[in-house]
Chains A and B, each alone.
Chain A
Amino acid sequence: MNTASILLRITPIPFLSIVIWGLLLLAAMYLARKPFHRSIEALARLVHNAMRLAAASVVLAEKRLETRNREVLLKAGLDHTERNLEREFDRISQAVNRDLEHYPKLQRNIQETLINLEEDYRSSGEIPQKLPDWVKVIEAIAKIKPNGDHMVATMLEEIHQTLAEQHKTALDRHRKDVSQRHAILSRMLPVWRSLQKTLERLEKSISSLNLRAKRIDQYMDEYQETRKQTDTAYRTLSSSSLTQFFISGLVLLVAVGGAVINFNLIALPMSEMVGGASYIGPYKTSDVAGLVIICLEICTGLFLMESLRITRLFPIIGSMDDRMRKTFFWIALGLLTILAGVESALAFMRDRIAADMEALRQTLAGVSPGSMANSIIPTVGQMVMGFILPFILTFVAIPLESFVAASRTVLGVVAAWLLRTLAFCLRLAGNLGFYLGRFIVNLYDLLIFPPLWLEGAVVRAIERSNEKKREGGQPGEIEKGQGYAPSESGKEVTE
């Protein structure tokens, strides 16, 4: 006999037993109403307050993280702008060294050329030929009108001849002078052109410097904006960082593809070197060895890029003195070349092993091995790929640096977002707890509505009777207010 049947047997009629138990339960619930309300309200308040406290703490953490993100981003922005400025100054310095180092000499040349030109110009100036003084006399004589005298005619004839000769001589001399001036002008032309070219070169250098100066101005503006830690700078850097994250991530994915191809090129021949039956953990030793070689190539590539100061993942390499850095660069390049050579040889070996395996497979399948395509193009292709891929993987350093730098910001942003979401969830949970408590209290009251209704009816009846009593006692009070002798107690008055 179970408990339910025992409970139903308190009266001969089960329905009556249920009713009695229901009434008893209602009575118990009615009696326990206030403590229950207090407990649920306390619990709801506890949950609400705890969640609010936790949410406030999370919001605080999120704000701290936000501040840290901002600092990191602005610091990165400052570093970036400083690098850009440094690079521009380097370029300007190089341009000045290259183009304007010989400026004093150039200036002297220009001055000399200008002096020469001036002299030439002067000497090429047209100076009108002076006629001899006696020409005027002869001219006056020549104006004498012929009067038929033979002597005069002869004299005039001679004067004419003399004048003609003089004219011819003057003309010849003029031509000679003109040709001399032309010669001088012709000499001036290459000098002039050379001067023009020099000036053009100078102008180009100056305009290039102007351009760089403008760029420096722009970077300086950016730098000042970043230093002021303005919201605009923060937004710009944040957006730039996100873009960098996705672009560098994409490039890294492509690089991973290249590394996988590289791995496939060398994994099989590595089994010829380190054996194909040994394992490190669940992985074949030959596969691990192939992977290690690729990792070594990437590391060497990173060091190469560092020594060229293209990336700054290892500040210690960048801060080496130039001689040491150059030595480091040549060592890294040498190692990379050796690794590329090894990989090329492995690619060749792979081709041989693959061909041998294919031949064996065909023999086992009963096909003549002679039917295989015999070409050296795949072999050469694999060898070239084996040699080039390590050098290509070297450039992974650039997107890797960007990715690492951008990841800090992106991870910070994601963490801040997660904290914000967590704070929201905590607040929501707190409010839900609070209102759930109220809901439970109301539900409880709903379940025990009969005794509550009864209680309300009784209370209302008592209040009504009290009101009636008060209404019955009111005239006494008025009388009291109208100057009736105050009694010692209200009792007497009401009575």
Chain B
Amino acid sequence: MIGDNKKPFGWLLLFILFWCLFACSDSKSHTKGVYLLLDTSGTYSLELKKAQALINYLLGTLQPGDTLAVGRIDTGSFSEKDIVAKVTFDDRPSVANSQKRVFMQKINKFIGTANRSRYTDISGGVLQAIEYLNEVGPGSKYILIFSDLQEELAEGYVRDVPFQLAGFHVIALNVTKLRNDIRDPKNYLRRVEKWRLKTEKGGGTWRVINDLERLDAIFQ
């Protein structure tokens, strides 16, 4: 107590120093959260090999602390069971590297054994992605849709829920043209426009990247 009384200014300075140090630490998260939706329906399942390269790119790009999840789009995608693999990388780079290796193995196994689904529930997948990323709480949230964006819902499935996409970046990748699109491009444009409107109505941003050679545009 005597020491405390003798040097109150010293303690005050120390307190101010610590306060400054903690005040300086950024409360804003700089991490990224990426949820990749893979379409496994119909002919699009043939495109999954390309998705493997995309996932490898993401694994090479994401940093310690970032989150990556891969979910499949099938008949009913709004389900935890449709999450093929998910990981939040450790803060330490060496541990994060090991996690990336394990993740890659899981994806390779999935791509080798994935079954075609009859229907395409993209909205359910997006809702699942929103839920997962909101739960993880990264600094910036990305939903990548690897699909032709042709939604086909099974009977009894209701997906008229509006998306809550504030703070989300939704990116459609490798949106292939269907036979009808080749005959009438308006179909393709209408489909893409529908998803853009849906996303922007929910407060998110919308982009389309069809050229898989410029994947670096995802995080720009």
With both beta carbons as reference points, the residue of chain B lying nearest to A279 in the complex is identified as B26
Task: Give the residues in chain B near A277, CB-CB below 8 Å.
Answer: 30-31, 63-66, 91
Stretch in A254-262, A268-276, A419-427 touching the partner: A268-276
Smallest Cβ distance from A271 to chain B, in angstroms?
A: 6
Give the dominant DSSP class at A's interface.
helix
Whole-angstrom distance between the alpha carbons of A281 and B96 in the complex?
Answer: 23
Whole-angstrom distance between the alpha carbons of A356 and B96 in the complex?
Answer: 11
Whether A363 touches B104, Cβ cut-off 8 Å, given contacts A268-B93, A280-B24, A356-B97, is yes
Instruction: Tally chain A residues at the interface, Cβ within 8 Å.
Output: 21
Task: Give the residues in chain B near A363, CB-CB below 8 Å.
Answer: 101, 104
**Per a CB cutoff under 8 Å, which of B31, B57, B92, B104 touches A271?**
B92
**Per a CB cutoff under 8 Å, which of B24, B25, B92 touches A275?**
B92
Task: Give the residues in chain A near B56, CB-CB below 8 Å.
Answer: 364-365
B100 within 8 A of A: yes
With both beta carbons as reference points, the residue of chain A lying nearest to B95 in the complex is identified as A272
With both beta carbons as reference points, the residue of chain B lying nearest to A271 in the complex is identified as B93
Interface residues of B in 56-114 (CB under 8 A from A): 56-57, 59-60, 63-66, 91-94, 96-97, 100-101, 104
Q: Is the CB of A279 within 8 A of B25?
A: yes
Task: Give the residues in chain B near A268, CB-CB below 8 Å.
Answer: 93
With both beta carbons as reference points, the residue of chain B lying nearest to A366 in the complex is identified as B56
Whether A353 touches B93, Cβ cut-off 8 Å, given contacts A276-B64, A279-B30, A281-B26, is yes
Task: Give the residues in chain B near A352, CB-CB below 8 Å.
Answer: 94
Smallest Cβ distance from A360 to chain B, in angstroms?
A: 5
Interface residues of A in 216-271 (CB under 8 A from B): 268, 271
**Per a CB cutoff under 8 Å, which of B91, B100, B104 touches A276?**
B91
**Per a CB cutoff under 8 Å, which of B26, B93, B97 touches A282?**
B26
Task: Give the residues in chain A near B57, CB-CB below 8 Å.
Answer: 364
Task: Give the residues in chain A near B65, CB-CB below 8 Å.
Answer: 275-278
Task: Give the residues in chain B near A360, CB-CB below 8 Å.
Answer: 59-60, 97, 100-101
Interface 0/1 of A172-190, CB less than 8 Å to B: 0000000000000000000
Task: Give the residues in chain B near A372, CB-CB below 8 Å.
Answer: none
Whole-angstrom distance between the alpha carbons of A353 and B92 in the complex?
Answer: 10
**Per a CB cutoff under 8 Å, which of B24, B28, B91, B97 touches A357?**
B97
A68 within 8 A of B: no
Q: Is the CB of B94 within 8 A of A280?
A: no
Whole-angstrom distance between the alpha carbons of A160 and B26 in the complex?
Answer: 128
A361 within 8 A of B: yes
Q: Which of B28, B57, B63, B94 has the most CB of A within 10 A?
A: B94
Whole-angstrom distance between the alpha carbons of A365 and B52 in the complex?
Answer: 11
Task: Give the residues in chain A near B59, CB-CB below 8 Å.
Answer: 360, 364
The 9 closest A-B pairs by CB, nearest first: A277-B65, A275-B91, A276-B64, A364-B56, A279-B26, A277-B91, A360-B97, A364-B60, A272-B92
Could you list some 15 contacts between A and B, CB below 8 A?
A: A275-B92, A276-B63, A276-B65, A276-B96, A277-B31, A277-B63, A278-B65, A279-B28, A280-B25, A281-B26, A353-B93, A357-B97, A360-B97, A360-B100, A361-B60
Query: What residues make up the interface of B, taking CB atoms closer than 8 Å to A?
Result: 24-26, 28, 30-31, 56-57, 59-60, 63-66, 91-94, 96-97, 100-101, 104
Q: A275-B91, A285-B25, A360-B101 are in contact. List 9 more A-B contacts (CB 8 A).
A: A272-B92, A276-B65, A277-B30, A281-B24, A281-B25, A352-B94, A364-B57, A364-B59, A365-B60
